[in-house]
Structure 1
């Protein structure tokens, strides 16, 4: 499949600056830095900093494996240390990261391997093959606040208290590397899958196993006329999109921090300077929501020491006030939510929910419930078996949510603004993005 056949745009083939033909695109080509092809990329690539935050042994193994080799480990702040570092340790760690960034640039550990282009990524995980596109995202097109009509939006509620510490990491940095994954609603598979078919005609940038059972990843440079075709297709897809164009799947707090840094920086810039300033953009990986290997798992709820019957009745009343209904069903596989407590099990469908996800409605009800019962504790449990075990022991009421229909994600965001915290998990921890590509944050 040739990408050019999918677009009605007239494409420029000369080496003009991308801003001349992409005045409104949320995603655009970038100058992308990587180590040379001969580098040990297995030691270079490191998993997203917000993973394994309760497993220090994971990060200790990474440290032991990397040793003194050039590695993204030296350019990131694993969030496990945000919980243990005091203010001085936090400041010292950021200084060390920024010094290492400068050294990697000075010593040419990192070189510009892609000029005004994209990187097509092919990731092998236990869930299958996942195709992605590394590009610059215009932060002017992104808004994480509830009720926004921006083309790029958060999927889940942003915890604003988590932003300042991440702003401190980005401000003053000379480089960035993405673990942010944005989702595009492309059921026709017009873009990434078409690029994948052409991958053998692109320059291979890296081809490596990933440490700690992360699978394998290959990256290809998409430049020149190929990049122009991608840019035209992206712009056409966005123009045809009536509402949300991209949803932030992973890394929303990192992207929100980048947005905050840009809002701070642009106050001192002229309109002309704002147009193409590096801080206005953030490197991300775009993935098709409809990728078969992009698995969405529901996150279940457990409410400890509660009156199970009163909890269910309260939820029914909450829904009735909003012209919805809680309807009992005997088919657990078709249930929107199942309440478990000791030997009792009750499965329900939610009628007339008008695009709202069951988890959104349940969480909003639980938020109200907890205001009236502040001494009770709510927990979020990824494992259905673990939630069931808690209920069987009589320690709490488990609320088992049905399978997450990812095709409803964009409609749900439009209906509810953003989804509640802990709505779903995209894949398992070892399937998350590894840091690989870099981009300069200073001219």
Structure 2
């Protein structure tokens, strides 16, 4: 069942059969714990040779072994299909409820989206758009796996802007028999799922979704923003273009399974969804030289950028820094700290919606010339204060994203600068579970 005008499909899913240990089957997104090999060693030991999505995905911590692991991943997918480890369910959608460790509940709707209506370029005007820039060299290893794979599993989370809770939340009010309900491995909470396949109910969801479409002054439409898994969806798009260009049967292209990608829709305004700021720290920098360069950079754009000395509170926190970084369309304020100094950089009037974009655009320009300076992305204001105040370092505190400005920012400025926000902690990310045929 397709809803072509909003790029939405009700696919047939493949779910583990009733004999599969779901706790071992279901594994965290591949792009998590990339600096913690001990996490993945624990997962490997726990899963062993049991059927698991661990065996059909490539954790990014092992990306240097991609050429060796890719054939094994594809063979294991074929094995699971041959041995009927996976059973079909659908067509329809899957309503998800994730119980997080903190006690919050996140709801999502597992669907398939039409890749014909997705473009991951920085100037994209498609219905489905990225939220961060796509790094081209990160795609080939993912493409090598997907190119010959019979299945897809997905950790992609796509955001919809639904402040009145009209799409996903009404589905939660009906009594449904769970498709599965179990605790996730390594104390990562619990997940429950329920089928949605009533035609009238699905039409109601599609109608509510269509009403959420944003349009800019040129008339381009935006309905879906990729929150997690930008590079995974870009991989699916790149492979679909390969398939399409090698297929001359126009009728088969219309319903080819590789044309669609499985994603979890999540309401941007779900109360469990917390956007955390990602701050910046420079290493090996002369702060006074940087501030002078910043004045020159913004001056070329007829923008005033100046530094105001200000003592920060002794007990620096996310809340206190967010208050200092309170910005407006007329002025971006960026708290900054270095050895024995602190203050606010004010940029007036900014030429972007986000303070993060103002800072990152400057840093990209500055670091192209200052090759001996290193940049790192840091979570937590306390960590920025500690690291940024060491000799030779400089820390920049950025505000969390305002949910009200999220979609308008993408419409005006395109994808956010890299590392603008984080959607919760690692253990709160989507786990691999459901599969779908793509060949």
What is the TM-score with the length of structure 1 in the denominator?
0.89
Asked whether the equivalents of residues 284 and 372 of structure 2 are also in contact (C-alpha less than 8 Å), the reply is: no
Q: Aligned partners of 1:353 and 1:391: how far apart in 2?
A: 25
The structure 2 residue matched to 1:71, chosen from 45, 52, 58, is: 52
Asked whether the equivalents of residues 299 and 401 of structure 1 are also in contact (C-alpha less than 8 Å), the reply is: yes
Shift of 1:37: 4.2
Asked whether the equivalents of residues 27 and 234 of structure 1 are also in contact (C-alpha less than 8 Å), the reply is: no
| Residue-by-residue CA offset, 1:162-197 (whole Å, 9 max, x unaligned) | 111110010110111110001111111111111122
Who is 1:53 aligned against? 34
Instruction: State the SS of the aligned residue for 2:121.
Output: coil
Q: 1:203 to 1:231 in 2, by over 3 A?
A: farther
Q: Aligned partners of 1:438 and 1:410: how far apart in 2?
A: 29
Shift of 1:280: 0.4
Q: Aligned partners of 2:303 and 2:221: how far apart in 1?
A: 25
Q: Aligned partners of 1:32 and 1:322: how far apart in 2?
A: 51
Asked whether the equivalents of residues 290 and 407 of structure 1 are also in contact (C-alpha less than 8 Å), the reply is: no
Who is 1:9 aligned against? none
Q: Aligned partners of 1:164 and 1:211: how far apart in 2?
A: 30
Q: 1:194 to 1:358 in 2, by over 3 A?
A: same
The structure 2 residue matched to 1:126, chosen from 87, 90, 101, is: 101
Question: Which stretch of structure 1 is more off in the superposition, 268-277 or 325-334?
Answer: 325-334
Superposition map of 1:16-27 within 5 A: 18-19=1-2, 22-27=3-8
Alignment of 1:394 with 2:391, yes or no, is yes
Alignment of 1:219 with 2:216, yes or no, is no
Question: Which stretch of structure 1 is more off in the superposition, 54-63 or 328-337?
Answer: 328-337
Q: 1:240 to 1:411 in 2, by over 3 A?
A: closer
Who is 1:164 aligned against? 140
Who is 1:82 aligned against? 63
What is the TM-score with the length of structure 2 in the denominator?
0.89
Instruction: State the SS of the aligned residue for 1:24.
Output: helix
Q: Aligned partners of 2:303 and 2:105: how far apart in 1?
A: 39
Shift of 1:398: 0.6
Alignment of 1:110 with 2:110, yes or no, is no
Instruction: State the SS of the aligned residue for 1:196.
Output: helix
Asked whether the equivalents of residues 186 and 290 of structure 1 are also in contact (C-alpha less than 8 Å), the reply is: yes
Asked whether the equivalents of residues 214 and 222 of structure 2 are also in contact (C-alpha less than 8 Å), the reply is: no
Asked whether the equivalents of residues 262 and 280 of structure 1 are also in contact (C-alpha less than 8 Å), the reply is: yes
Q: Aligned partners of 1:313 and 1:406: how far apart in 2?
A: 33
| Residue-by-residue CA offset, 1:216-259 (whole Å, 9 max, x unaligned) | 11011001232333233334444889632111111111111110
How many residues align? The count is: 415
Who is 1:341 aligned against? 338
Please list every run of 5 or more consecutive structure 1 residues that lacks an aligned counterpart in the other structure.
Answer: 1-17
Shift of 1:110: 0.4
Question: Which stretch of structure 1 is more off in the superposition, 259-268 or 297-306?
Answer: 297-306
Alignment of 1:233 with 2:223, yes or no, is no
**RMSD of equivalent CA atoms:** 2.0
Asked whether the equivalents of residues 37 and 205 of structure 1 are also in contact (C-alpha less than 8 Å), the reply is: no
Who is 2:316 aligned against? none
Superposition map of 1:13-412 within 5 A: 18-19=1-2, 22-37=3-18, 39-83=20-64, 85=65, 90-113=66-89, 115-127=90-102, 128-198=104-174, 200=175, 202-225=176-199, 226-238=201-213, 243-269=221-247, 270-326=249-305, 328=308, 332=321, 333-335=323-325, 336-353=333-350, 356-412=353-409
Shift of 1:329: 8.7
Q: Aligned partners of 1:240 and 1:408: how far apart in 2?
A: 14
Asked whether the equivalents of residues 401 and 421 of structure 2 are also in contact (C-alpha less than 8 Å), the reply is: yes
Who is 1:4 aligned against? none
Who is 1:11 aligned against? none
Please list every run of 5 or more consecutive structure 2 residues that lacks an aligned counterpart in the other structure.
Answer: 311-319, 326-332
Instruction: State the SS of the aligned residue for 1:420.
Output: coil
Q: Aligned partners of 1:160 and 1:216: how far apart in 2?
A: 35
Instruction: State the SS of the aligned residue for 1:309.
Output: helix
